Amino acid sequence: MEVLSENQSFGGRQTVYKHPSESCGCEMTFAVYTPPQAKDGPVPVLWYLSGLTCTHENAMTKGGFQEHAAKHGLAIVFPDTSPRGEDVANDEAYDLGQGAGFYVNATRDPWQPHYRMYDYITEELRGLVISELKLADRHGITGHSMGGHGALTIAIRNPDMYDSLSAFAPIAHPTQSDWGRKQLSAYLGDDEGCWAAHDSTLLLEEHGWKGELLVDQGASDQFLELLQPEALAATMARRRQPGELRMQKGYDHSYFFVNSFAADHVAWHAARLS
């Protein structure tokens, strides 16, 4: 791994790395915040998956997570949202291609050679941060928007790999939303039966989640019709899934919303990972 930058933050270190990715077939960049407690031994890991158009940098600089992670002794990993590079397929639209990997393994061309973000997050990068950065093999996962979709679907599909789960304004029912149908058909094909494995509402209906679930959603979010939190809430109620889906009055879809509730989510994960 190549260190691109390193800064002290709240007694810990905020570092940005670059490495060649076997999963994505290109160089990938990610950021890790290690709290001051990491000096005394391995600390648990909170994964933060970002949304459409984002890189590793957006939440790292705008989310305000470092102060809370330092308080609770958690490392936070900020992956990129897609493969990058001149030979990586892209699209002129902001919601497809680079910056919009949707945390799936693409099976259709031209996306299939590089767009394998599911494997990258769950296998390659996970192994890298544990072995190279000496972090504990105890993991929570969260994310915002497309990243909230990624966090929910990845954790529900892999309950043995994650011990805590939350989301900020997730794309909750992508098989029934324009933020989902477009991307899932492009990456996975027109067989909608293959899409269900990447829809948190459908996955929760079928499998449930082993612990409590925390979801925050801005009530003034300009993308509510695309996110469909009511579908996830109805499934939580129907399955009697322990947890909370909180509609936060006046909040939109921005990082001001994420920053406002970052402390709650870090504390939520710390309580379940300690």
Q: How confident is the model at residue 114 (pLDDT cuts 50, 70, 90)?
A: very high
* Annotation marks residue 19 as catalytic: no
Beta bridge partners of 195: none
CA-to-CA distance for 185 and 192, rounded, in angstroms?
8
| pLDDT at res. 148 | 98
Q: How far apart are CA 77 and CA 116, in angstroms?
A: 18
> Which entry of 80, 199, 216, 221 is annotated as an active-site residue?
221
At residue 57, does pLDDT exceed 90?
yes
Q: Which residues, other chains included, contact 189 with Cβ-Cβ below 8 Å and sequence gap of 6+?
A: 107, 108
| Annotated catalytic residue, options 72, 114, 253, 269 | 253
pLDDT in tens, 33-44: 999 999 999 999
Q: Residue 198, Cβ neighbours under 10 Å: how many?
A: 27
Q: What Å distances lie between residue 223 and 122, 151, 219, 254, CA to CA?
A: 28, 19, 10, 11
Query: Parallel, antiparallel, or unpaired: how do β-strands 75-79 and 2-9 relate?
Result: unpaired
Q: How do the domains of the chain map onto residue ranges?
A: 2-273
pLDDT band at 274 (very low <50, low <70, confident <90, very high): confident
Is residue 152 within 8 Å of 141, Cβ to Cβ? no
- Mean predicted confidence (pLDDT) in 192-204: 96
Calculate the average pLDDT of the chain: 97
Question: Pick the catalytic residue: 145, 164, 166, 177?
Answer: 145
For 133-189, what is each residue's pLDDT tens digit? 989 999 999 999 999 999 999 999 999 999 999 999 999 999 999 999 999 999 999
User: How far apart are the two ends of the chain, measured CA to CA in Å?
Assistant: 28
Instruction: State pLDDT tens for residues 60-75.
Output: 999 999 999 999 999 9
Cβ atoms within 10 A of the Cβ of 193, count? 7
Q: Quick one: fold of 2-273?
A: Rossmann fold (3.40.50)
